[in-house]
Chain A
């Protein structure tokens, strides 16, 4: 498929454990975003990658959150020592073309028990 894919689709973990969420962007897209969507809330910006430039990490809520993008393609969002308030849907989007349009993946639903 040509769309953005994310894995896993669902992740249940225990408080205090680390989790890794993966995003495969659309081939050729230089921009990649991570967002968090909590119930009843708008999408919350987490981090932005653009080509080889330094990422904008200004949206990461704490130092337990980190992300990397290897080879300008696949990205991994890591949450260390998960807390219950981390429970949310984590959405990845890649961007390109006019207006830097964003194409979203299906998201990973994270549940921290």
Chain B
């Protein structure tokens, strides 16, 4: 069964600290993996998109890594800010060009001052 699992479910860190969120997937075949940020009451916003041939992609203070062999991805947030408080969702796409995506349940991050 195609699944995307994220950990931890929730995380609390102090402002300025770094953190890493994990995503494991069993989707096969694999086309691409996306990380989204979802603020409370908003729709998800794309942070990074990686194909199977990419193993790292950065977007400002966000850096995503991908290991297609172990089917694992991580999202690293550097020097966290209060505005980073949100849910982070890992999404995996199967066959290239497919419109069907498998969504993880997300990691809820809270950054405290």
Contacts and interface: CB of A to CB of B under 8 A. Distances in A.
Interface of A: 4, 31, 33, 35, 40-45, 48, 50, 56, 91, 93, 95, 98-107
B45 A104 contact: yes
A33 B2 CA distance: 20
Contact of A100 (B41, B45, B97, B104): B97
Contacts of B43: 4, 91, 93, 104-107
A33 B43 CA distance: 13
Of B32, B51, B103, most buried by chain A (CB within 10 Å of CB) is B103
29 contacts: A33-B99, A35-B103, A40-B105, A41-B105, A42-B4, A42-B89, A42-B102, A42-B103, A42-B105, A42-B106, A43-B44, A43-B89, A44-B103, A45-B100, A48-B99, A48-B100, A50-B99, A93-B43, A98-B49, A99-B49, A99-B93, A100-B97, A102-B46, A104-B43, A106-B42, A106-B43, A107-B41, A107-B42, A107-B43
Contacts of B99: 31, 33, 48, 50, 56, 95, 100
Nearest to A95: B99
